[in-house]
Amino acid sequence: MTRKLAAGNWKMHGLKADLAELAAICAAPQPGCDVLLCLPATLVHRGVCAAEGRIAIGGQDCHAAPQGAHTGDISAAMLVDAGASHVILGHSERRADHAETDAMVAEKARAAQAAGLMAIVCLGETLAEREAGHTLAVVGRQLAASVPEGADPARLVVAYEPVWAIGSGRTPTEAQIAEVHSALREGLARRFGTGAAEQVPLLYGGSVKPANAAAIFALPHVDGALVGGASLKAADFLAIVAALGAA
């Protein structure tokens, strides 16, 4: 059975004082699923210390190179050194803001896994691609090209995040989410074999809230969520964690 994962992505939010939310999340019992917060790089080490192993802490990006003259970037080894266990890669905001391609995401995922991190590879269609009927083709291409050759499926998480659902309050229908997740599972099975593919957590992301979490988590091949805005407040995130634990 695939492990269930409730992952929060704080994006470019969070100062030291906001670790009070992390502390509140850690203080609550979390039966039935793994919990991860992907913090801004400045908070990763503090977050790891504050969490004391009760939840996992991750980064939001890493460079493909192990070290070098890359001002402002962070390597996978640096995240590991800070205590991170996961890293988000290929988020649509990085694909848009930093022109990250599938090939670049694949190189980052390769570096992340080589350093011992779980690579959370993000993919998802734009609204124009959805309306043109290209969703499955787009996410299929992204899955094939953003997960590197030789990737370890045991160190892989895939997050389906429709670009148009992120921060918008809009979500796909349950049937649309189920269709994409089923296609992703099939794509992983073609790549890694059925048994290994079943072990890769498939997360849905995009306007997941306490009010819609249970319905999303009830869908086949949805093993958790990548949560943005609702992960910033412990009460909201814990409600989503509880819904996943009960699914």
Catalytic annotation, pick one of 93, 100, 161, 181: 161
How far apart, in whole angstroms, are the C-alpha atoms of residue 231 and residue 225? Answer: 11
> Is there a contact between 83 and 45 (Cβ–Cβ < 8 Å)?
yes
Catalytic annotation, pick one of 91, 125, 181, 221: 91
Quote the least distance from Cβ 91 to ligand G3H, whole Å: 6
Quote the least distance from Cβ 169 to ligand G3H, whole Å: 8
Residues 181-210 that bind ligand G3H (CB under 6 A): 205-208
Size of the site for ligand G3H (CB under 6 A): 14
How far apart, in whole angstroms, are the C-alpha atoms of residue 7 and residue 203? Answer: 8
Structure token pair of residue 120: 């959370």
How crowded is residue 111: how many other Cβ atoms within 10 Å of its Cβ? 22
Q: Give yes or no for residue 224 binding ligand G3H (CB under 6 A).
A: no
Is 91 an annotated catalytic residue?
yes
> Is there a contact between 100 and 90 (Cβ–Cβ < 8 Å)?
yes
SS3 171: coil
Structure token pair of residue 49: 């210390």
Quote the least distance from Cβ 233 to ligand G3H, whole Å: 12
The residue (of 9 and 135) whose beta carbon lies closer to ligand G3H is 9
Binding residues for substrate: 9-11, 167, 207, 228-229
Is 129 an annotated catalytic residue?
no
Quote the least distance from Cβ 195 to ligand G3H, whole Å: 28
How far apart, in whole angstroms, are the C-alpha atoms of residue 226 and residue 204? Answer: 6
Q: Give yes or no for residue 37 binding ligand G3H (CB under 6 A).
A: no
Which residue of the chain is nearest ligand G3H when measured via CB?
228
Q: Give yes or no for residue 9 binding ligand G3H (CB under 6 A).
A: yes
The residue (of 4 and 77) whose beta carbon lies closer to ligand G3H is 4
Angle of CA points 180, 184, 185, to nearest 5°: 120
Is the sign of the CA dihedral 99, 103, 107, 112 positive or negative?
positive
Residues that bind ligand G3H (CB under 6 A): 9, 91, 161, 166-167, 205-208, 226-230
What are the catalytic residues?
91, 161
